[in-house]
Amino acid sequence: MPSATSRLSAVLKRFSSTAAPTTTIVTKAIPSKAHLHKPLPDSAFPKGYALTGLHCGVKKKPELLDLAVILSTSPRPTSAAACFTRNAFKAAPVIVSQEVLQRNDGRARAIVVNSGCANAVTGKQGMEDAWAMARETDALLPEPPSTSETLVMSTGVIGQTLPIAKILAGIRAQSVGEKRTLGSTFDAWERAARAFMTTDTFPKLRARTFTINGKEFRMAGMDKGAGMIHPDMGPPAAPSGQLHATLLGCILTDAAVSPRSLQSALTYAVDRSFNSISVDGEMSTNDTVIVLANGAATAAEEPEIDEEHDPAAYETFKEELTAFAADLAQLVVRDGEGATKFVTVTVEGAPTYKDAHSVASRISTSALVKTALFGEDANWGRILAATGSIPLSAPLDPTRVNVSFVPTDGTAPLPLLVNGEPEKVDEVRAKEIISQEDLEIKVELGIGSESAKYWTCDFSYEYVKINGDYRT
């Protein structure tokens, strides 16, 4: 059977030869993403963590890492928080991780991740395998717990069971001996980030330093995702039923934060970062973002940051976490499958944040908007059509709506619609703006004071090629 690539080429050939003999469809080269990953000094990373990434055999090619292990080695209790997919068909690792957090009242000391197989829609065997991964990783912890303290994440093809013997052997190899590669250097962090990857073109790894009450802390994190990206994640809920998988992320900090405040801060941050990105409008069965706070940079007698006991410190931490999560989330969009554009969609003047967020989401997932962006066609009517399709909490008055393209080079925005009236658009200038790799679409609704941002990309021929042949 011909591949999706050859089938697409045939379709394009037929289209160009029969529909428009004088027209040639030109496919654009995908911009290089190499500049988005750079080495970081070892001192940039938070204290009290040991990590590694290795090849255990989930993926066929031995040079591709497919298993990550992350341990907190801090003597202080480690708080854990997570936001999980709201997809009804939650994968086995999602259900297991929810149970671990609930049983331990928001405490966990380890994360284990495999890529290449989602362990989703795998029934009873999938649940047993996810618990086996957790128990094997527990054994690596200082003073192994009687109740599991390991959170599990998986990503890859849905509907296939894990090669669990290979995964457990890979985890076990990190206990002692020559195969042990757990460490705290940049190389160790990078190996872990690479082990997250599926169709990603670069490891997504970031770190930052921040200060609370005059004390310095560190935060570092990694995520993966390039396709099946339109997360809708929330805090742990009572386990429900079990169904390619997709956005995974973990953030580690050496600050001490109470479990309830860590979850509160993460839920806020995810709504304004990972829940505000879209590559293709598809929600995964496995989307998970985890945060660990191990207090390794805090003296034993110092209290954990808590929103009730020290609101100012909590607010600072929440804002730092939100900004960091947004940075990680944007890397996923920049690495979107086949993407040639990184687009910020800003909606202002909405009655509520939810209204603004809903409109921004609709624009970001419109196939017509995304294909126009790829074709560098300033077809702004598609933006309006998407905007007007969302029911709002207050009536939308079309005569108060403004739409503009905003370049990222600091030059003046280009108005397209002003108070419901179309502008005489300078098509040459519009082409200049949307030909750039980065641009912003700004919509002002004029019926409130709330705003929201979404980050998205275009739809290219390459996206079809990648997803037409995903399992081969």
Q: Which residues are tagged catalytic?
A: 246
Q: Does an H or E element contain 222, and which?
A: strand 215-224
> Residue 349 region, left (φ>0) first, then alpha (ψ -120 to 50), else beta?
left
> Residue 186 region, left (φ>0) first, then alpha (ψ -120 to 50), else beta?
alpha
DSSP conformational letter for 16: I
Q: How far is CA 270 from the centre of its chain?
A: 9
Q: 228: Cβ–Cβ under 8 A, 6 or more apart, which residues?
A: 244, 245, 246, 247, 279, 280, 282, 283, 284
Query: Whose structure tokens read 């654009």?
Result: 28
- Cα–Cα distances (Å) from 399 to 337, 403, 412, 451, in that order, read 37, 12, 23, 19
Q: 369: Cβ–Cβ under 8 A, 6 or more apart, which residues?
A: 363, 382, 383, 386
Q: 120: Cβ–Cβ under 8 A, 6 or more apart, which residues?
A: 89, 91, 92, 126, 154, 158, 159, 242, 243, 244, 245, 285, 286
Cα(398)–Cα(378) distance, integer angstroms: 20
Directed axis angle between helix 164-172 and helix 123-138, to 10°?
A: 10
Cα(271)–Cα(346) distance, integer angstroms: 15
Cα(465)–Cα(26) distance, integer angstroms: 15
- Please count the residues of the chain: 472
Q: Does an H or E element contain 111, and which?
A: strand 110-117
